[in-house]
Structure 1
């Protein structure tokens, strides 16, 4: 897949750090959720709107690979894009990268997407999700919500 990465800028909050002064490892999974939520909002598929249509997208699997530590007040960009999709599942890949103020001004103030991630790589990750209905039964998106499936297909290709 060759789609652009969605980028979401944030500053590391003190509450996200541990006694060693670095971001606690569990916060990266939360950051991936923020990246995914903002990705969906950007592509006009907000969780709220999906839930109003009776669709839920629970996490089946989450992983993170830590490369470097983020610290309080670092400027971080969360990069998110679709890794894989099917009528039943949707998988995202993520990169959390530390950048400078100059990086952000040069690489993102005008666009919510980037062709390639930039900055110092902190963490990579993946999440896999399954489409289910309100009764938590699997939903075949292509059959039950073809407009959403086609939207994902257009974004991912």
Structure 2
């Protein structure tokens, strides 16, 4: 079954750009997080609720390859979808595109491990797993 892809639109803010007017590279990871949290919200899962249960989705790996620059005021589309859902870990994949011409700006992933307050891995609860697969 093909993964469900969620899209989130963001307008590039001036504060996200460098002196050359190009988006600073680390902001793509912020956009990945925006895409991931919006994906989960669209599926009915709020991070606050997960944290109330004493669980946290720690990022243990991140990867991004940059294909073309985003610039101030560009409207971008963040595509996000989960894969590789395992016992206590999962991966989210991302594509960032410029909306006006659908140009691929960047793509990458983040790998997460579900942990408790003592930073011990925990099994992904079924109520969360069912939203990801």
Q: TM-score, normalised by structure 1?
A: 0.81
The CA RMSD over aligned residues, in Å, is 1.3
Cα deviation 1:95-120 (Å, max 9, x = unaligned): 000012xx7xxxxxxxxxxxxxxx11
2:131 paired with 1:151: yes
TM-superposed CA distance for 1:140, in Å, is 1.4
Q: Extract unaligned runs of 5+ from structure 2.
A: none
Cα deviation 1:41-71 (Å, max 9, x = unaligned): 1111111010011110010000100000000
Residue aligning to 1:86: 86
Greater shift in the superposed pair: 132-141 or 6-15? 132-141
Task: Kindly indicate which of the two structures has a greater share of residues assigned to helix.
Answer: 1
**Aligned equivalents of 2:98, 2:6: Cα separation in 1:** 15
State the secondary structure of the residue aligned to 1:132.
strand
TM-superposed CA distance for 1:146, in Å, is 2.3
Q: Extract unaligned runs of 5+ from structure 1.
A: 104-118
Residue aligning to 2:37: 37
2:9 paired with 1:5: no
Structure 1 ranges of 4+ moved more than 4 A? none
Q: Check conservation: 1:12, 1:71, Cα contact below 8 A.
A: yes
TM-superposed CA distance for 1:152, in Å, is 2.2
Bigger Cα Rg: 1
Residue aligning to 1:65: 65
State the secondary structure of the residue aligned to 1:8.
strand
**Aligned equivalents of 2:33, 2:130: Cα separation in 1:** 23
> For 2:118, which of 135, 139, 149 is the aligned residue?
135
**Aligned equivalents of 1:147, 1:5: Cα separation in 2:** 19
Corresponding residue pairs, total: 133
Task: Kindly indicate which of the two structures has a greater share of residues assigned to strand.
Answer: 2
TM-superposed CA distance for 1:21, in Å, is 0.7
Matches within 5 A, 1:12-31: 12-31=12-31
State the secondary structure of the residue aligned to 2:72.
coil
